[in-house]
Structure 1
């Protein structure tokens, strides 16, 4: 079986977080533990929002968090944090924080396309938004098999 787009260890669901920076830090923990990214990358993501606003919020409640490829990234990876209560990210409510780490400008595009196809499906998106961790894991595993 192919490796899941986002592994079970990289998926977290919590009731709430104090603010969006805490959410980004929490969402990054699985990637830091696995040495996919460093704290430098987390700092770059936070700084990018502070400098450029909420451009990473792609749709209602969904933020694709990232920074420049390579800076603090050891290998490509993704992690997911779903908060049951929305968090204000520079004026936009967010419940889904998808962390994307890329080593260059192109190598992550296939996996990003796979994961975005899940998020763009309304039923799948609502499942993720509902915040049931086991259902999210099952959904992401099924999507990998279907590809």
Structure 2
């Protein structure tokens, strides 16, 4: 997947920044809303993501403050998609503080791998990670669109 494809997945309309929310469930819903509105995922997928956390705990938290929210590939997913929610205040996700909720709508077990590898590579860079945590959507988009 080329750099421009990640930029097509994580557009301005699919990145949200809020101060705080009452729960990780609410964060999951707000993070998913751009994808639901676009028809990329169904409400059933949002519910499945929440059920996964309730059943399996915070396994979606991959590093400090970052959760990769997802459910079963293809179930309730209409197109490969991503959205991002940044919160200023950490949200407790099953005992782990999270400020970045990246929703991944995977249509199968393979199509999303390149985009996921690219966003992971970006977030492994501490400066880029700090920019994402800042919630500056313009700066986040610059990173996404200029990363090879």
Unaligned regions of 5+ residues in structure 2, if any? none
Match of 1:134 in 2: 138
**Deviation sequence 1:56-91 (CA, Å, 0-9, x none):** 000100000000101100010100000000000000
Shift in Å, 1:131:
1.5
Shift in Å, 1:7:
1.1
TM-score for both structures, normalised by structure 2? 0.94
Q: 2:93 & 2:18 partners in 1: Cα distance?
A: 17
Unaligned regions of 5+ residues in structure 1, if any? none
Match of 1:96 in 2: 100
Match of 1:33 in 2: 37
Matches within 5 A, 1:16-31: 16-31=20-35
2:85 matches 1:50: no
Q: 1:66 & 1:6 partners in 2: Cα distance?
A: 15
The Cα RMSD (Å) is 1.1
**Deviation sequence 1:103-132 (CA, Å, 0-9, x none):** 111111011111111111111001111122
Q: 2:66 & 2:35 partners in 1: Cα distance?
A: 19
Match of 1:12 in 2: 16
Match of 1:2 in 2: 4
Q: 2:55 & 2:4 partners in 1: Cα distance?
A: 38
Shift in Å, 1:33:
1.0
Shift in Å, 1:2:
2.6
Q: 1:78 & 1:120 partners in 2: Cα distance?
A: 18
State which of 112, 117, 129 in structure 2 corresponds to 1:108. Answer: 112
- Which ranges of 4 or more aligned residues in structure 1 deviate by more than 6 Å? none
**Number of corresponding residues:** 144
